[in-house]
Amino acid sequence: MDQARVFRLAPLSQMYQSITVVYSVLTVGLLIQPIMMQGRPSAFTAQPVGVILALLGAAVLLWFRPRRLEADAGGLNLVWPLRRRRIPREAILKAERLDASDLGSLTRFGVGGLGGSFGRFRSSLRGWMDGYFTTQNNLVLLTLKDARPLLLSPADVTGFLAALGLKA
């Protein structure tokens, strides 16, 4: 079997960067509020919200947002810190290079904004799909056998497709 090539997700778009920064600042602010308020009893009312936001952020980073894509002639691995998904090469029927305009409007059922968009999506032009993307340009849509299409945003689209033996 060929050596797997590792691909990072594309850098966060400006929109996703902004949402991630605001979420992070809000979470930290709520967590440290009691320190800033010098321990007054009323200072602890927002801290549980900060804890919930921190736990949701950790879930996104550990379970929902892939850390990397590993591609070789045998298939594709989506790798998260706590899980992995293998898609055999024979299950990948087609690859298309897309931009947001090729998708129309997207309805999201999952994470939308914090670190990117991850989960299930309904495209007004393409129907249902799963997706793990961090930008809205230079995307790859994989048509899969017996599964929903998969929308990804590898940093090196050309190298990613070549590693899978695909052309877009």
Domain ranges of the chain: 1-168
Q: What is the pTM of this model?
A: 0.86
Alpha-carbon distance of 116 to 108, in angstroms, equals: 12
Alpha-carbon distance of 85 to 80, in angstroms, equals: 9
Q: For 86-127, what is each residue's pLDDT tens digit?
A: 999 999 999 999 998 999 998 888 888 888 999 999 999 999
Residue 141: pLDDT above 70? yes
Q: What is the mean pLDDT of residues 69-84?
A: 94
* Contact (CB, 8 A) for 153 and 140: yes
Q: Cα Rg for the chain, rounded, in angstroms?
A: 19
Mean pLDDT computed over every residue of the chain: 90
pLDDT band at 2 (very low <50, low <70, confident <90, very high): low
pLDDT band at 12 (very low <50, low <70, confident <90, very high): very high
Amino acid type, 152: L
Tokens of 50: 């900060």
Looking at residue 60, the DSSP 8-state letter turns out to be I
